[in-house]
Chain A
Amino acid sequence: MNTPIRVILLAVAVAGLAACKKEVTKPETAQPSQPTAPVSQPVQEENWTDPKLLDTKPCLVARVAYFDFDQSVVKSEAMEMLRCHGKWLSSNPGARLTLEGHADERGSREYNLGLGERRGNAVRDLLLANGGRAEQVNVVSYGEERPTCTESSEGCWSQNRRAELIYTTRQ
């Protein structure tokens, strides 16, 4: 076995372990009786108007929702992120963001423009349901014009079917 393949296998094994570990720890954190954080780290009340929070809190750092092919249903894994951004918008009335809707390359460009807008609107609706106000959110569809990945494969397409949250005014 040559070295690169061994390295890849090792990486896959580590990734697999990491994935397993994550699943194991989940039920633990759900039980309040078990200590989950070091005692020395005091639990702080989060300040939702602190500008640093937008760049540090994981659910606010996350800014992309992904979609299935020809679909605009927001997946469950994006919900926590959207709840957080909705809360940020309601806590910071001056905040403004643009939702960029994107599609993969398959099919016609103008239809994909419609699809990108539909995805942007689906995310907007969830932001509004979680505290954002309509004037804070602007939807723009790029269709298939701005792929993050340019290969013709599902691995690439799944990264391109997305809605990106871009803050134009943070607070």
Chain B
Amino acid sequence: MTELSVVDLRVVLAKKTILSGLSFSVATGELFCLLGPTNSGKTTLLKTIAGIYPVQGGKMLFRGEDRTETAVGRRPVSLLFQSIALFPHLTGFDNLAFPLKRQNLTPGELRRRVGQIAELLRITHLLTRFPRTFSGGERQRVALGRAMIQPARLLLLDEPLSSLDARIRLELRNEFRRIHRQQEQTTIYVTHDPVEALGLADRVGILQEGSLVQVGSARGVYENPANEFIAQQLGLINLVRFEIIDSTSAVWLPDASVKLDNGNAVPPFSGGLLGVRPEWVSVSAAAKQETPWPATVETIEFSGHYSLVSLGIGSARLRARVTERLLLTKGKRVWIGLSRAPLYFESPQKV
């Protein structure tokens, strides 16, 4: 069942068009991730769905009902603000209970619901304390609990992990996966971090300057991005200009130093950008069939179980993900190849 359907949404704030022509839908129980850089309109979109901002065009349908004009507070949504917005004058318990106070529950029922969510998020020890004593991760959990305490609502999460330490971010992300699997609350999760989006989402939508430029499954968008912007949003990718000089092969610009024999994978346009993800670049110490092209090591970034090696080929620069324990030093000559066909993007301008 479709929980939310957004059709051709247009939002103008302070005379600037923030969102235009935005259309997507979210199925019940789905975790839909919205990925995009800052100022692409992600927060505005969430606030518009919640009813905080009015729309200048388009519709929003909640389970088929048009709620585009419904006042904020009357829509079946829960919003977790990027700023967290915990009530500092209320205890953890009262913060969590706040959304339920309007519902005339018996005190026993209220306590039960709060206790349930506190246990789920492992914040039972915070119920009697005040937000100013919480750590960053604890604050985030309580805010999440408050947003989740009404499970019948659509959960809107605005960059919930961006203010946290890298370590805590990882922990909470895993926890959220577990919680979502359990609760199956329809969620729209906004983030600028592709690793979060790819790891959590059932489906991903990429936002660029107020429009959704691609929507699909995580692996689908990652392996088939519609353009180079989307490819870059989803992770590191090397983009190199290319040109086809004869009917069978593509050549890398600008000094025609590498020729790719593609055979069947030739793109329909004669020039543009070639996209190669670092993990598709194979590196070895000697020339082999899989690694026919010579390159020079320029910089090595150690990242733990792999290293990101910047290689110079002619005047192009490629970053490769090297997992084998190769002995690489700056200036060393190595041989590279591609483990799969690159992506081709038609792009008239320079990168």
Q: Please determine whether chains A and B interact with each other in the same assembly.
A: no
Which residues of B are in contact with A by a Cβ distance under 8 Å? none
